[in-house]
Amino acid sequence: MPARLDFDDYISALRTAAARLSDETAGPPDDRPVPTCPDWTTRDLLAHTGMVHRWAAGIVRGELNSGNSEEATTRFEAAGRAADDAGAWLLTGATDLADELTAAPDDLQRFFFLNDAPPPKLAWARRQCHETTIHAVDGLSARLGRMPTAAEADLDAQVAVDGIDELLRGFATRRSEKLILESPLTVVIETADTGCSWTLVLSDGPATCDEGVTSQHPDARLSGTAAQVYLGLWNRGDELAQDGVDALALWRDKMHVEWG
């Protein structure tokens, strides 16, 4: 799962998305519902995202790892909920994360949790770029009061393609995911504006995903622009076109990236 963007591109996108999330959720009230995250308010959204930034920065610094994070993340999220200006608190954490990643050596050795990932410095920059980009879309959803369109989300196509690749080949293929079926199912995912594609195979074991179209007779095809596919697979958009079996309903039922 090689990174498709340069390190500086991920850091720039992270900073841009954090600023957008702060802007989209600015002003009272701070407990507006978030349609793309039905159980959250905007305060929950900011507290969660700022917590993740501080958690990731702690990992980059070597203070946190997969086994000692629970107390810290609980404390971070509580601080976000209690902040007088949650948007400013979010930006402080995002800036610190970006600075820590930039200062880290290229050969940084740290815990990372996705399959087939690039080296940790690049992997964490990539992951936090997309974490923040998707939550900026959630902030837009809160402002609009509904799920946004890809045009409204205004995502860079190359950032979207990279995020699709991370989701399909890094998240979906983890053994912990619930994409398990008794009978195999092959799904081709295509982005019309970039020409990129993937072939996802679901079975009674962990999902597999290869770049490109590796099946001439897939059970389903999902397609759209890179932004439409990105938002659709992250369950933040309704503009995906589908042919064949209803793989999208299956995906949305079983594929949920959650904090844990």
| Type of residue numbered 158 | Q
The answer as to whether 237 is a domain residue is yes
The answer as to whether 24 is a domain residue is yes
CATH number at residue 183: 3.30.1050.10
120/238 same-domain check:
no
Q: What is the pLDDT along the chain (260 residues), one digit of tens a residue?
A: 578 899 999 999 999 999 999 999 998 888 999 999 999 999 999 999 999 999 999 999 999 998 899 999 999 999 999 999 999 999 999 999 999 999 999 999 999 999 889 999 999 999 999 999 999 999 999 999 999 999 999 999 999 999 999 999 999 999 777 888 889 999 999 999 999 999 999 999 999 999 999 999 999 999 999 999 999 999 999 999 999 999 999 999 988 887 76
242/178 same-domain check:
yes
Alpha helix (H) residue ranges in the chain: 7-24, 42-61, 70-82, 86-103, 120-144, 150-153, 157-165, 226-233, 247-254
CATH number at residue 95: 1.20.120.450
Q: State the residue range of the domain holding 236.
A: 174-254
Rounded (10°) angle between helices 157-165 and 120-144:
110
Contact 227, 153 (CB under 8 A): yes
